């Protein structure tokens, strides 16, 4: 059965916001200041509460949640681009070529984006303009051919500030504050 994961996000050095949807389910994560907010699945609310807030410093650095958030940033894809054997196409601003699936950097970069599935025959297409990467598409298949990968990313708003609005008071619950009030 085909499945797709759609991710839309933005980030800078201190803020990260991502919304995702897959097979009818959706959710979101937000790092804002010292807090990590997790949106309730499918936006389900209990009264007005739709978010769980945690102090980021209390989340273990190796937690699955943070590992996935780091995988959703652009850095892993840039590492894959750096390992690709890309050639400039006749269009001039498009580069295409294979990426070695067994390269340790590629494996580590894609591991959490692909749920641990290993895709082979990786092909990469990168669109460049003004010295910046604007779009990329990475494709591949599993060794048995049962699953395919098509990862497309569009990059924009270079060197512009990220504007994220944190959830309003009353729309999130903070378990640490709840424990203090008991």
Q: Quick check: 50 and 172 in contact, CB under 8 A?
A: yes
Average pLDDT over residues 6-31: 81
Average pLDDT over residues 105-131: 92
pLDDT band at 42; cut points 50, 70, 90: confident
Q: From the DSSP assignment, how many helices (H) and strands (E) are in the chain? A: 4, 11
Residue 165 DSSP one-character state: P
User: Which pLDDT belongs to residue 116?
Assistant: 86
| Residue in 111, 135, 114 with CA at minimum distance from that of residue 124 | 135
Residue 96 has pLDDT above 90, yes or no: yes
Average pLDDT over residues 75-97: 92
Average pLDDT over residues 58-67: 84
Q: Outline where DSSP puts E strands in the chain.
A: 5-11, 16-22, 25-32, 35-39, 51-55, 87-88, 94-99, 120-129, 132-141, 148-154, 172-174
Q: How far apart are CA 180 and CA 65, in angstroms?
A: 24
Q: How far apart are CA 172 and CA 146, in angstroms?
A: 41
The domain locations on the chain are: 1-61+167-182, 75-154
User: Which pLDDT belongs to residue 157?
Assistant: 72
Average pLDDT over residues 149-161: 82
Among 56-70, 77-91, 112-126, 132-146, the minimum mean pLDDT is found in: 56-70
Residue 181 has pLDDT above 60, yes or no: no
Average pLDDT over residues 92-112: 94
* pLDDT greater at residue 27 or residue 53: 53
| Residue in 86, 93, 160, 159 with CA at minimum distance from that of residue 131 | 93
pLDDT band at 177; cut points 50, 70, 90: low
Phi/psi of residue 174, each to 5°?
-115, 110
Residue 103 has pLDDT above 60, yes or no: yes
């Amino acid at each position: 059965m085909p499945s797709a994961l759609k991710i839309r996000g933005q980030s800078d050095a201190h803020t990260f916001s991502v919304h995702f949807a897959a097979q009818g389910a959706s959710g979101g994560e937000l790092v804002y200041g010292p807090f990590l907010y997790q949106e309730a699945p499918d936006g389900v609310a209990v009264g007005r509460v739709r978010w769980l807030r945690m102090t980021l410093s209390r989340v273990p650095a190796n937690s699955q949640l943070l590992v996935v958030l780091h995988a959703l940033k652009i850095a892993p894809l840039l590492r894959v681009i750096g390992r690709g054997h890309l050639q400039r196409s006749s269009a001039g601003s498009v580069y295409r070529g294979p990426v070695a699936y067994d390269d340790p950097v590629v494996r580590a970069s894609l591991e959490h984006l692909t749920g641990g599935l290993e895709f082979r025959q990786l092909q990469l297409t990168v669109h460049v303009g003004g010295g910046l990467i604007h779009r990329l598409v990475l494709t591949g298949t599993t060794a048995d051919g049962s699953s395919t990968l098509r990862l497309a990313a569009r990059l924009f708003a270079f060197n512009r500030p990220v504007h994220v609005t944190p959830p309003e008071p009353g729309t999130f619950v903070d378990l640490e504050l709840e424990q203090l009030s008991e």
